[in-house]
Structures are given as C-alpha cells and as structure tokens.
Structure 1
C-alpha cells in the first residue's frame, strides 16, 4: 500500500513538473504519510519524503518542531549529595531536529547561509533566557548533548537520493522518544551555493488508543489522576498481600 501511494504521488509530481515554465515551481515535495500514530509499544517509524525539482540542483531537508521552553540544570556535589546548583532556561527549543542532504552541507552552502537557514545542529538558534550568563556555552552544549543522547537531535544528515535528475527521495527515521505535536519538513533547492527554492510540508505525531486517553486524562485532571493512581497502587498491594496470606 505504501508503495502504491508513493507511485501515485510521484506521478502527480511529474505531471506538476510538466506545467508551462512560467507556472512551474522550482521545487515540490511531500511525505508519504502526514500522520504518525503513537500506540502502545511504539518503537519509532520511517517517513518517506520525496519530491521533484524544475531542473538539476541539490536538496537539503530540515525537520524540526514543536518548539518549547527547556531548563538545563547543573548539579554539584555538596556534602556528599548531588544537588541542582544552577539552572538556565532556553526558549524556542525544537523538540526534534533532523537533517538530510544530497551532499555534505559544506559543499552546498557557505557557513553564513547555513547559519541563516539553521542547517546543522551548531546553527540551531537556542535562545537563552539570560544571554549574559557566564556559563552560557556550557549550558548550551549540555542541552544539545542531552538531546543527542535521547536521539532527538541528529548530528549526521540522512542521504537524499535522486531517482533521476529531478526526482528525489529520503527516508527519515522518527525515534521512539519523539514527543507529540506538529512538525515542519522544510525542503530547500540549492544551486551554485544559493537557495533558489523552498517548500514546507507538515507532519503530525499524535497518540491514539487507550494510552492516549490516559495521557489526556492525566494532563487535563492531574489531581484526580494522582488520587486514582494511589488507589490503584493500594488495591494492588492489598491483593498481593491476600495472595501471600493464602500460601
């Protein structure tokens, strides 16, 4: 079924590329599925991004989102106990950052252009709450490192393959730790070290099923969820006590 959807979509892209030159977009792209459903036992998913260009060129893909606030804490040992001694907050931090390119980035765009389009982990604009903090570099590195360890920031770009001189595709691996929300896949067409076209398509990651109902209830009615969790734990302990007494 996925292969049929891909062939159908590629056919549409090819037909779109056959329009008159004055009406032709330099770049068209899409995903084989715009919704990833997280269910019990979710172990990650593969998303196929494909597209067509109006002629020869290279392609770069940046997938990121949703953004939010993140606090980075530094622990220090005091009296034999590790405690949080300092915290620095960051704003507009993407929950996930993925990258793909048809060639190494330094061969496609100069450093200032990569920074402008936030291509590469080192170019993500992590906005600190206090930009004058003396330990800003340390906290920024710790934030990026934590994201990488969780598999949410990808430091190695995936390889974009050209099926012909105009059709391209790339498989993007969505990790099992991915949070829910709306993501944006930004696709850039590059020629002669300049971005000459761009296209954006959304990707929604959402929980479904019984697990999603529990998640939603826990966030909407946190106090009631806490009481229910305690009652369930007490009941489970009581049942276990009865089982051991019978022995």
Structure 2
C-alpha cells in the first residue's frame, strides 16, 4: 500500500512538473482504498487521501456519505414520562461528513464558494422536508441534528489537517467509525487561490458489507418476516439445548 502511494506521488509530481504551462493540471489526487469492507467485528477504518498540486494555493477536502431523510425529535416530560412532542424531518441529509483543510476555512475559500460546495458543517444543505416550518424552529432542530451526528462520530467536530510536503505533495487521513452506513461516499478535493477554486476533483469511496455478516443483513432486510420466525426458532432451540445439557450435567 505504501509503495503504491509513494509511486503515485512521485509520478504525479513528475507529471505536474513536466507538463507545458498551458496544459498543466493543477490537481491530482487519489485514495489509498476505494472500497471499505465491513466484516464481522468491523471497528472502523482510516482512509488516506494523497495527491499533488502545481503552484501556490490552499487545499480543501470534503467527504460526504450517502444522503437519507433524517427525523429529529424533541422530547418533553409529560405526566412524569419522557415523550416525543415535536419532530422535524430533514430531506437528503448526508449520513457522514468530514472536512479537511490546509488553513482555516474562512481563510481558504470565499463564503459563496463554501456555501455552494457545502464546505464546513455550517454550510451543509440541511433543509426541512416541510417548507412551511418556522425558521426559528428549523434552526433549533438543525442544530440538534448536527449535535446528534457529532455525538456518534458521523460528523467531524472539527476541521481535519492536511499535511503538505515540499509545497507540492499533500495527504490527509479520514476516519470512518464503526457505525458508518453502507453506500457510495463522495470525496471532493478543491485547490484554491485567493479564495477562488482553481481546480476540483471528485472520487467515489464505497463502503460495503462483506462476508456472512452481509448475507445475514441482506436476508434480514429482504425477508424480515422469515428472519423473525427463524430467530425465534433458534432462540427456542438454544433454550431446549441448554436445558438438556443442564439435566445431563445434573
């Protein structure tokens, strides 16, 4: 793996340096792995992004997970019992989000670019499904959504660093926790000068279940009724077996 990365960086640096001025590609980047396999006992994974740039500028990387609808609920104590009293659903919400940068985001890209490209948690397109909801209420639930995601490690709480070597080569490491959802993640790399994007590149990262755990997961979701019956049968059989062993030992 390390040899592949070093070879890529060497070739990228050489190509950028040898290309004619008008034909130069300002940014070349890749991932150490394009597939993260979730197997039994998966505890998370680190993905290394590396690349090379030509000329002066700053680098920003965003990693966005598959988008889903997320419902945030507010609880209150009613008659001594906690109950859901209000809920807001946000459509097309990133299941995972992380951002890395060579400098503080406000020093790297203009506010307009950060907003359009969803650079920074505060710029994520988190819109309530109900367009009629009160803006103040939407803001409160939006903050709750981000807080919940950060609490379980699915939204990075801070901007991750990008290491730059020799003013040309760069790398950053993105951690995917054990509770990441499966699907295709989008890794976007931006090369910026004077607050404006000079070049951008996107590459997919696939997170997929593999092995017997994946087979069980697919069976459970595709045949929920049969899976439930099978689970009950296994539980009953295990109980009978334990009782039989107990009688024999006794």
- Band of TM-score, shorter chain: over 0.9
Task: Provide Cα deviations, 1:19-44, integer angstroms capped at 9, x if missing partner.
Answer: 22232222111101111111111111
Residue equivalent to 2:54: 54
* Inter-partner Cα distance in structure 2 for 1:16 and 1:90: 44
Determine whether 1:209 maps to 2:208: no
Greater mean deviation of Cα atoms: 51-60 or 16-25: 16-25
* Inter-partner Cα distance in structure 2 for 1:199 and 1:52: 12
SS at the partner of 2:96? strand
Determine whether 1:81 maps to 2:81: yes
* Inter-partner Cα distance in structure 1 for 2:172 and 2:218: 33
Residue equivalent to 1:117: 117
Greater mean deviation of Cα atoms: 55-64 or 21-30: 21-30
TM-score (norm 1): 0.94
Residue equivalent to 1:25: 25
* Inter-partner Cα distance in structure 2 for 1:92 and 1:164: 40
SS at the partner of 1:131? coil
Structure 2: segments with no counterpart, 5+ residues: none
Task: Provide Cα deviations, 1:90-144, integer angstroms capped at 9, x if missing partner.
Answer: 1110110011000111211233332222111111011211133232122111111
* Inter-partner Cα distance in structure 1 for 2:83 and 2:230: 31
SS at the partner of 2:114? helix
Determine whether 1:3 maps to 2:12: no
Between the two proteins, the alignment pairs up a number of residues equal to 246
Contact 1:63 1:186 survives alignment (8 Å)? yes
CA RMSD of aligned residues (A): 1.4
* Inter-partner Cα distance in structure 2 for 1:9 and 1:109: 27
Contact 1:26 1:54 survives alignment (8 Å)? yes
SS at the partner of 1:59? strand
Contact 2:13 2:168 survives alignment (8 Å)? no
1:185-224 mapped onto 2 (5 Å cutoff): 185-224=187-226
Residue equivalent to 1:106: 106
Residue equivalent to 1:68: 68
* Inter-partner Cα distance in structure 2 for 1:102 and 1:138: 31
Deviation (angstroms), 1:47:
0.9
Determine whether 1:146 maps to 2:145: no
Task: Provide Cα deviations, 1:52-93, integer angstroms capped at 9, x if missing partner.
Answer: 112111100000021111111222222222222222111110
Residue equivalent to 1:227: 229
Contact 1:99 1:158 survives alignment (8 Å)? yes
Greater mean deviation of Cα atoms: 38-47 or 5-14: 5-14
Displaced runs of 4 or more, over 6 A: none
SS at the partner of 2:106? helix
Residue equivalent to 2:186: 184
Partner of residue 163 from structure 1, selected from 151, 162, 165: 165
Deviation (angstroms), 1:205:
0.7
TM-score (norm 2): 0.93
